[in-house]
Amino acid sequence: MIERLSYSAGLRKTITWTGIATYIGLAVLAVLFYKERVAFVDLSFHLFTILQENNLTIQNFRFGAAITQLVPLVASRMGLGLQSVAVLYSLAFVGWYAFVFAFCVWVCRAERWAAVVLMLSTLMVTHTFYWAQSELQQGLAFMVLFLAIYQRWLSDKIPSWGTPVLVLGLVTVCFFHPIIFIPFSFCCAFFVLRNREGRISHIWLLVAFLVLTYIKNKVFHTAYDTENMKRNEQLLALFPNYFSTVSFRRFIGWLLHDYYVLVVGLLAVMGYYSWERSWLKLLLTGGGFLAFAVLVTASYPGGQEEQFYMENLLLPLTVFVAVPLAFDVLPGIPGRWAVAAVVLVVAMRVTSIGLAHSPYTNRIAWARRVMQRSEHLPNRKLIIPEQGIPMDTVMMAWGTPYEFWLLSSLEGNHQARSICVSPNPQEKEWALRKPQSFIATWGVFDYAQLPPRYFPFPAQDTTSYQQITYAELMKPTNP
């Protein structure tokens, strides 16, 4: 046997039922907070584009995102209403992780990888539950699915059609996100150290993946990915002051306040390997965790980015903890302790995810206030300069046109609103005289281009756009 993928009967049952309960709980949260998730920067833009173009919206060659984007696309082609499409889009992400979990349990019979998926969904996820669209999050789940299938076939026998499936899967993992090669490399190195029988297979798998990553970066690079990868050049400039950056200090604060369970898991892994005298695994896990944290924080040393964005980039840290926990620590401790730890940790984390909704609910409340305040204006199609906007609430302004479209269409008596917060409103002055158009961050769309089922802009509204400051908009009106 190349790798043992199952647990004992008691732990297997615990992982299975805890996973079922967890994904039901996350699905409930995804429905309760669907506006907070879908009417939030990227997802609102993606939904706008999917419904406007009646097609997928794949960016930077990250075609794995089609897995979740197919849900709103199919729902819209079935003629479902906007609310149903938005709710299903919110559920699609939970559904994807739940599918990978179920596949690992019932198809691959790989409960250890199922435990990794469960930890990927809960151990560190807090704000990224509300910024759900990231291809990195989705790619980590696909990576687990690929490795579960790969190891199951190594343990049994690769079917005749299995090789092209594995090649296609490896290419898909590679294209999910530029930095996914790091957690993938960690997993391969972990199994090289862990199991002599599977050492050669995992070395060749790692070599193949790194070659694919190199080819992909050379042939399919984009300006967006190239610009982000250039941030790594700051590592040399910051040497050796990595731990004194604002970003790293913020990260330490998040570990203590939000990601304390991840810290406990890391300490449990390092303690277990110290007890077992598995020094190479200890170095790989602890060193890899620290090195990746330094890589991300040093790439954004000023600490100006929102926590949801940084949390997303830091999520691979979960792999450095979850894989050793699932494959070594949980099977190596008394069954009752393992069962209690799994149930307690997951329950705590799902509760924490639900309680983290406040900043995103506040954004929705702010948008409603803006729409309400604009009701008394003769022209309710607005371009608002970013100056004076409470950015601690709004977080990112570029998504506001799409967010206001979605919220107003869902809540505004089936009439969509066009409100755009812009750092450079002068760039949009040419479009102010286009009354029968929707002005977005990227593009101006004639009402005739937009399917009325999902874009209920009043066709009879011929008023022009108005540029107004936030202070003027929110100024108290006379009773």
Domain boundaries, the chain: 9-356, 359-474
State pTM to two decimals. 0.95
Calculate what percentage of the chain has a pLDDT beyond 90. 75
9-18, 23-32, 78-87: least confident range: 9-18
Q: pLDDT at residue 281 above 60?
A: yes
**Mean of the per-residue pLDDT values of the chain:** 92
Confidence of residue 37 (pLDDT cuts 50, 70, 90): very high
Q: What is the pLDDT of residue 80?
A: 97
Instruction: Tell me if 114 sits within 8 A of 101, measured CB to CB.
Output: yes
CA distance linking residue 383 with residue 421, whole number of Å: 6
CA distance linking residue 347 with residue 62, whole number of Å: 32
Which of the pair, 337 or 260, is modelled with greater confidence? 260
**Mean pLDDT across the stretch 161-165?**
91
Q: What is the pLDDT of residue 1?
A: 54
Beta bridge partners of 378: none
Radius of gyration of the chain (CA): 24
Neighbours of 228 (CB within 10 A): 16
Q: Which of 440, 446, 406, 447 is nearest to 420 (CA)?
A: 440
**Mean pLDDT across the stretch 77-98?**
97
**Mean pLDDT across the stretch 200-204?**
95
- CA 97 to each of CA 81, 326, 329: distance values in angstroms, whole numbers, following the listed order: 25, 17, 23
Q: What is the pLDDT of residue 336?
A: 85
Q: What is the pLDDT of residue 169?
A: 96
Calculate what percentage of the chain has a pLDDT beyond 70. 98
pLDDT in tens, 336-359: 888 899 999 999 999 999 999 999
Instruction: Tell me if 182 sits within 8 A of 316, measured CB to CB.
Output: yes
**Mean pLDDT across the stretch 139-163?**
92
Q: Which of 117, 164, 165 is nearest to 143 (CA)?
A: 117
Instruction: Tell me if 36 sits within 8 A of 361, measured CB to CB.
Output: yes
Confidence of residue 234 (pLDDT cuts 50, 70, 90): confident
Per-residue 3-state assignment (H helix, E strand, C coil) for the chain: CCCCCCCCHHHHHHHHHHHHHHHHHHHHHHHHCHHHHHCCCHHHHHHHHHHHHCCCCCCCCCHHHHHHHHHHHHHHHCCCCHHHHHHHHHHHHHHHHHHHHHHHHHHCCCHHHHHHHHHHHHCCCCHHHCCCCCHHHHHHHHHHHHHHHHHHHHHCCCCCCHHHHHHHHHHHHHHHCHHHHHHHHHHHHHHHHHCCCCHHHHHHHHHHHHHHHHHHHHHCCCHHHHHHHHHHHHHHHHCCCHHHCHHHHHHHHHHHHCCHHHHHHHHHHHHHHHHHCCHHHHHHHHHHHHHHHHHHHHHCCCCCCCHHHHHHHHCCHHHHHHHHHHHHHHHHCCHHHHHHHHHHHHHHHHHHHHHCCHHHHHHHHHHHHHHHHHHHCCCCCEEEECCCCCHHHHCCCCCHHHHHHHHHHHHCCCCCCCEEEECCHHHHHHHCCCCCEEECCCCEEEHHHCCCCCCCCCCCCCCCCEECCHHHHHCCCCC
Neighbours of 223 (CB within 10 A): 8
120-129, 196-205, 223-232: least confident range: 223-232
Confidence of residue 115 (pLDDT cuts 50, 70, 90): very high
Which of the pair, 78 or 220, is modelled with greater confidence? 78
Instruction: Tell me if 120 sits within 8 A of 98, measured CB to CB.
Output: no
Confidence of residue 44 (pLDDT cuts 50, 70, 90): very high
Q: What is the pLDDT of residue 415?
A: 82
Q: 368-372 — which CB contacts under 8 Å span 24+ positions?
A: 368/407, 368/411, 369/474, 370/404, 370/419, 370/473, 370/474, 371/404, 371/407, 371/408, 371/412, 371/417, 371/419
Instruction: Tell me if 5 sits within 8 A of 148, measured CB to CB.
Output: yes
Instruction: Tell me if 179 sits within 8 A of 313, measured CB to CB.
Output: yes
Q: pLDDT at residue 271 above 70?
A: yes
CA distance linking residue 457 with residue 436, whole number of Å: 9
pLDDT in tens, 371-397: 999 888 888 889 999 999 999 999 999
Q: pLDDT at residue 14 above 70?
A: yes
